[in-house]
Chain A
């Protein structure tokens, strides 16, 4: 029994070299499998969350993300919404747009964005729309984040 246990232990020890090779050489494949199997995504607090509406302006598009209020369990009062404009190369110098962000047709705020200087202005039509968190020049798009607070 002791010999058998010892032989098994040596087999497992040898196997560790193959585990190392599998992790390194099959890393890309295994990583994709891991993501598919678990269904995980990067937190919406970083990505802005899923895009729920796309408005086509011909040469460019407006992407409206879902409002993010996520917590570990449930939702919190304070959050934000992210609006993107893409593609970066086709954006007009000035963007002026009304945005409805709570899933109905009511306009909740108006954004003026200077795509050259990356300066944005917010006009709120809804008391739950608080302020502009920031405007960002990203790799392939421009984005603004607007602070929300649900009553």
Chain B
């Protein structure tokens, strides 16, 4: 294969004609209206403006994904915005409901801690053996209740597999955002042995959580405590915990993603990510490489944010189990050899159909979770700008 042919970038593989893209966006226009409004139109003018802007933002990106065929480019804009919006809306919500972002013992006894999906791997063994959930939240009928989050996670795992990590997770956009700051990575060669680390962390936290009946990742290792809720520093132990949270956040979510251009927290540390990888086994969607078109340029493996492609997997025409279906490899392949795929169909089957059938459930979850956060944050910011207070 000549260099000229290899480097020639072909048009996006599954770009739609404008009318077709618009028609395929119509179902999402209806569904996102339901997801964002929860069936009722807000009465406050600020909320209406925020809802309208969020609606345009979400559906505009969905249309652009179809029209240009560039899934990752527009997903990434959404994902990063949603993650930063999450910090604003979650923090403001805690301040409004609880009066503080600091978690104290009274909040724990009251079950006032919002449940997040990162806890799920840690609660399974204790739930099976003791029928109790080792998390200080509330089972039902409250913001981020335990059962509500578990149902959301189960649905998304069935529909998207580890696509959760690039479409639904409200933390992933943070390291994705920082990973995109530096055009050219300072460190590009990372030993693939590091990809075993999330599995080791997973094993460690599952065992220690079962033995101590407390979610040890949340207590000791979660970098996102730095920007969400955190324990009050009342002892040397809580001081050490806070130092660990801040250090891990700066290292794994900010600095290393900037200098490597990869999602280091998601790809090399997050135990939930390792756990979620298993769901790719039974999910109907995957990413496949057409070996007849592939020229082994390795752009995909070098660009994959979560280290989900290597030379061996490319030779097999598949991604690794850790693939988050972010679509970056599909976007950057110069030969259009990589595509969204439905398991059980031929690799040469319509890439358009597979991509569209994946994008609907993926974007429904993204809009419901991330869109809700964008809306929430926008309301807070508009209130702050117009009234001087977020509440």
Q: Which residues of A contact B (CB under 8 A)?
A: 2, 5-6, 8-10, 12-14, 16-17, 19-25, 27-28, 30-32, 34-35, 38-48, 70-73, 82, 134, 136-139, 143
Chain A residues within 8 Å of B62, by CB: none
List 16 A-B pairs, Cβ < 8 Å: A10-B357, A13-B342, A16-B160, A16-B284, A16-B358, A24-B365, A31-B140, A32-B147, A34-B147, A43-B132, A45-B214, A46-B109, A71-B213, A72-B129, A72-B213, A143-B109
- A17–B299 Cα distance when bound, in Å, is 31
Instruction: Give per-residue flags for B104-126: 1 if the beta carbon is below 8 A from chain A beta carbons, else 0.
Output: 01101111100000000000011
Contact partner of A24 (CB less than 8 A), chosen from B105, B139, B155, B346, is B155
Instruction: Give per-residue flags for B362-383: 1 if the beta carbon is below 8 A from chain A beta carbons, else 0.
Output: 0011001000000000000000
Chain B, interface residues (CB within 8 Å), range = 35 or more
Smallest beta-carbon distance A92→chain B, Å: 20
Residue from B110, B112, B151, B358 whose CB has the most chain A CB atoms within 10 Å: B151
B360 within 8 A of A: yes
Are B156 and A23 in touch, CB under 8 angstroms? yes
Are B110 and A20 in touch, CB under 8 angstroms? no
Smallest beta-carbon distance A91→chain B, Å: 15
Question: Given A16-B159, A23-B151 in contact, is the A136-B364 Cβ separation under 8 Å?
Answer: no
Chain B residues within 8 Å of A14, by CB: 357
B158 within 8 A of A: yes
CB-CB contacts below 8 Å: B328-361 with A: 342-346, 349, 353-354, 357-358, 360-361
Are A40 and B155 in touch, CB under 8 angstroms? no
B185 within 8 A of A: no
B200 within 8 A of A: no
Are A12 and B284 in touch, CB under 8 angstroms? yes
Are A45 and B134 in touch, CB under 8 angstroms? yes
Instruction: Give per-residue flags for B200-222: 1 if the beta carbon is below 8 A from chain A beta carbons, else 0.
Output: 00000000001101100000000
Smallest beta-carbon distance B147→chain A, Å: 4
Chain A residues within 8 Å of B211, by CB: 72
Chain A residues within 8 Å of B132, by CB: 40-44, 70
Smallest beta-carbon distance B138→chain A, Å: 7
Question: Given A5-B344, A46-B108 in contact, is the A73-B138 Cβ separation under 8 Å?
Answer: no
B148 within 8 A of A: yes
- A84–B349 Cα distance when bound, in Å, is 64
Chain A residues within 8 Å of B353, by CB: 10
Smallest beta-carbon distance B376→chain A, Å: 16
CB-CB contacts below 8 Å: B124-148 with A: 125-127, 129-141, 145-148
Chain A residues within 8 Å of B147, by CB: 31-32, 34-35
- A32–B314 Cα distance when bound, in Å, is 44
Smallest beta-carbon distance A64→chain B, Å: 15
Residue from A43, A48, A136, A137 whose CB has the most chain B CB atoms within 10 Å: A43
Contact partner of B145 (CB less than 8 A), chosen from A5, A6, A31, A138, is A31
B152 within 8 A of A: yes
Chain A residues within 8 Å of B112, by CB: 139
Question: Given A16-B285, A24-B155, A134-B105 in contact, is the A40-B137 Cβ separation under 8 Å?
Answer: no
Chain B residues within 8 Å of A27, by CB: 148, 151-152, 155
Contact partner of B148 (CB less than 8 A), chosen from A16, A31, A39, A139, is A31
- A134–B109 Cα distance when bound, in Å, is 11
Are A138 and B139 in touch, CB under 8 angstroms? no
Nearest-CB residue, chain B, relative to A41: B132
Question: Given A16-B361, A45-B214, A134-B105 in contact, is the A6-B285 Cβ separation under 8 Å?
Answer: no
